Amino acid sequence: MLIIAGLGNPGARYANNRHNIGFMAVDEIARVHDIGPWRAKFQSAAAEGVLQTEAGPKRVLLLKPQTFMNESGRAVGEAARFFKVEPANVVVFHDELDLAAGKFRLKTGGGIAGHNGLRSISAAIGPEFRRARMGIGHPGEKRLVHGYVLSDFYKAEAGWVSALCEACARAAPLLAEGRDDAFQTRVTHLAPAPKPEADEGETGPAGEA
């Protein structure tokens, strides 16, 4: 079993927030691979299905924690314990301030860079889960971070947001095969980050939201 969790806040008022890009990615994985239906389980919206890989079908559980961002670990931890899934088989899609808008990186373990969703999951299952880091850029000043991540994407950003989520979905079988480098390469090939002003968020300070 592979658990793929997208991070966000529940409810219509947050649906298009930058902080909710993890939910958007998991929704697209469900759509592309016909995984569902969504059910209330593990303090989440949860959907079980399979990803078709070169080695055959792999079971997957998609999660959108309904605990609000800061308590995401309660949901992910409950599902991981139920299925006896090790952290290495948990993939978390989340917004990343320290990557330019539209950039993507996948890594295992590491710090939390002020991200309260990652902090909660790390406390629940340990730090060695896989982080699918979806760049949203940085507002430039630490004091602006909270409002920035809880504001909606601009209409002009809709193209790259949609392309990145779809690329993650198309490449998802590689996650089930444990081919993380190939997954990252595939995603960045399918959805190159937008060029103009793309590097502004690369070196900004970590966020707190």
pLDDT at 14: 98
Residue 116: is its pLDDT beyond 80? yes
At 152, the amino acid letter reads D
Q: How confident is the model at residue 197 (pLDDT cuts 50, 70, 90)?
A: low
Q: Convert the pLDDT of each residue in 91-110 to its tens digit.
A: 999 999 999 999 999 999 99
Mean pLDDT of the chain: 93
Q: In sequence order, which residues have a C-beta less than 8 Å from that of residue 71 and are 6 or more positions away?
A: 65, 120
pLDDT at 208: 35
- Cα angle for residues 107, 97, 155 (degrees, 5° grid): 115
For residues 124-143, average pLDDT: 97
Residue 196: is its pLDDT beyond 90? no
Helix axis angle for 72-83 and 116-125, nearest 10°, is 30
CATH class of 2-190: alpha beta
Q: How confident is the model at residue 206 (pLDDT cuts 50, 70, 90)?
A: very low
Q: Convert the pLDDT of each residue in 45-66 to its tens digit.
A: 999 999 999 999 999 999 999 9
Q: In sequence order, which residues have a C-beta less than 8 Å from that of residue 149 and are 6 or more positions away?
A: 17, 18, 19, 95, 97, 136, 207, 209
Rounded Cα–Cα distance for residues 76 and 64 (Å): 9
Segment among 28-42, 117-131, 194-208 with least mean pLDDT = 194-208
pLDDT at 207: 32
Our answer to whether residue 19 is catalytic in this structure is yes
pTM metric for this prediction: 0.92
Supply 104's token pair: 């993507």
Rounded Cα–Cα distance for residues 136 and 151 (Å): 12
Instruction: Please identify which of the residues 19, 33, 115, 138 carries the catalytic annotation.
Output: 19
